[in-house]
Amino acid sequence: MHAFLTASEKAAVVPPPAPAAPPSGAPAVVLGGNDDTRLLLRGLLRLHRHRVLLESPSREAVERLPQSAEVKILVLDAGTEKGEAWADDLTQLLKGRADFQALVILPSSDPGLETRARQAGARATLVRPFAIRDFIEAVDSLGTPPAAA
């Protein structure tokens, strides 16, 4: 007897996959980081039903997004940037773009980096390494309006 199932036997035992649910989370943009990081973040966002409208290593791509683009969440990986140019980039990206809520992934828990991210307009930050659950919770929190001050 063979330990492997034939295609017809598999069909009888393994139900077909359920159709994928449509994305329901806020549309997102992944910016910065290396190719592997962007691929991972994009996959996590999609797995948790967010639409990823753009992923790019540079802010120029985001600047070209029309104001009418449905972007709600900007995930910026500052961990691979040299110096603090990412903060200046974030400040420029958020200027006049009330549709963006930014999450910055920081390379360390240096309080100065956290302060710089907040000053640049980030509504949330995460420090590497981080748990997937923490990333998804941070992204999901950005899909809701900020609390009134």
pLDDT digit string, tens, across residues 132-146: 999 999 998 887 655
- The mean per-residue pLDDT over the stretch 25-38 comes to 80
Between 129 and 60, the higher pLDDT residue: 129
| pLDDT in the model for residue 1 | 45
Q: Helix 35-47 vs helix 132-142: angle between axes, to the nearest 10 degrees?
A: 70
Q: What topology is assigned to 24-142 in CATH?
A: Rossmann fold (3.40.50)
Compute the distance between CA of residue 74 and CA of residue 93 in angstroms, rounded to an integer: 10
- Given a contact cutoff of 8 angstroms between Cβ atoms, the answer to whether 86 and 107 are in contact is no
pTM above 0.95, yes or no: no
- The mean per-residue pLDDT over the stretch 106-127 comes to 92
| pLDDT in the model for residue 81 | 60
| pLDDT in the model for residue 103 | 92
Between 86 and 64, the higher pLDDT residue: 86
- The mean per-residue pLDDT over the stretch 57-80 comes to 76
